[in-house]
Structure formats: C-alpha cells, structure tokens
Amino acid sequence: MELTAFLERRGQTFDRIIYVGDGSNDFCPSVRLSEKDVVLCRRARALERRIKAAPEGQVKATVKYWEGAWEVEEYYMSLIE
C-alpha cells in the first residue's frame, strides 16, 4: 500500500520501477509491480522465501537475486551503460 500511495502522490508514471528488498514486508510492494518492473531480491532472506512460495504469476515483475550490495550496483550500472 505504501508503494501505491507514494506513486499516487507523485502523480507521475514511470517506464520501469526497480525495487530493492530483502524482508518479509517487501513482499506486498513486489506483488504490486508490473511485468515491466524489476525486484532486486536479496538471497537467503525472508523476501526470497516468500517470492518462491508465492503462487506462479503472483509476482509479475522480473526477479533478480543478489547477495552483496556490489551486485545491486552492478545491475544499476548495466542499465546506464
């Protein structure tokens, strides 16, 4: 709900949202994202377990897993190169 409220307050649309999370509370925002969005999910944490346990298709965004912060940085750098 917080993600939805934030986007509504901005009154703006985005081509793609990249959401970084690791905790169980990051699952709801991950479910609200669309097919064009990306969830950067930290391995071996609650969010990974919830995503893997979710029914197929519940998380529509592309999910990319990471362990160290440098992997998140590498992903962002690949977008701007």
Decide: 63 and 44 in contact? Cβ < 8 Å.
no
Of 50, 55, 3, whose CA–CA distance to 29 is shortest? 3
Report the distance separating Cα 39 and Cα 59, nearest Å.
Answer: 9
Q: pLDDT by residue (tens digit) across 20-38?
A: 999 999 999 999 999 999 9
Which CB contacts under 8 angstroms, 24+ apart, belong to 71-80? 72/20, 72/40, 75/18, 75/40, 76/18
pTM greater than 0.75 (yes/no): yes
- Beta strand segments in 3-81, E: 18-21, 38-42, 62-66
Q: Which structural domains are found in the chain, ordered by start?
A: 2-80 (3.40.50.1100)
Q: pLDDT by residue (tens digit) across 36-72?
A: 999 999 999 999 999 999 999 999 999 999 999 999 9
pLDDT at 3: 85
| pLDDT band (50, 70, 90) for residue 80 | confident
